[in-house]
Amino acid sequence: MCGIAGYVGFEREGLLERMTASIVHRGPDDAGHFHDGDAALGHRRLSIVDLAGGHQPMESPCGRFVIAFNGEIYNHLDLRRDLGAAPARSDSPAAVSR
């Protein structure tokens, strides 16, 4: 099971990194952080699908949206095909949401 952390408000130096460090037990395989002004989103990953890729938070191709996802989308390959999704940088189920 992965872990997600974040905040909205005044930027606090190192806060997101401390938050994700406190949930390392939920996702020991990878950590990712996204900062944009007064908003921040962090993710700890337990790799199940796409062990090498799937780094999160993921940014949409246009750069407008960011997602941190925890869960499984079992038909993610079918969804990509049916939606005509552009090739993603990862085979992770989270990438289909981009």
Does the pLDDT value for residue 46 go beyond 60? yes
Does the pLDDT value for residue 84 go beyond 90? no
pLDDT per position as a tens digit, 48-71: 877 778 889 999 888 899 999 888
Domain residue extents for the chain: 3-97
**Which of helix, strand or coil describes residue 57?**
coil
User: What is the separation, in whole angstroms, between the first and last Cα of the chain?
Assistant: 21
Higher pLDDT, 74 or 50: 74
Neighbours of 69 (CB within 10 A): 20
CA distance to 14, 54, 63, 76, 78, per residue, from 50 (Å): 29, 6, 22, 12, 16
Does the pLDDT value for residue 85 go beyond 80? no
- Report, as residue numbers or ranges, the catalytic residues: 2
Instruction: Quote the tokens at residue 14.
Output: 């190192």
Q: What is the pLDDT of residue 39?
A: 93
| CATH superfamily of domain region 3-97 | Aminohydrolase, N-terminal nucleophile (Ntn) domain (3.60.20.10)
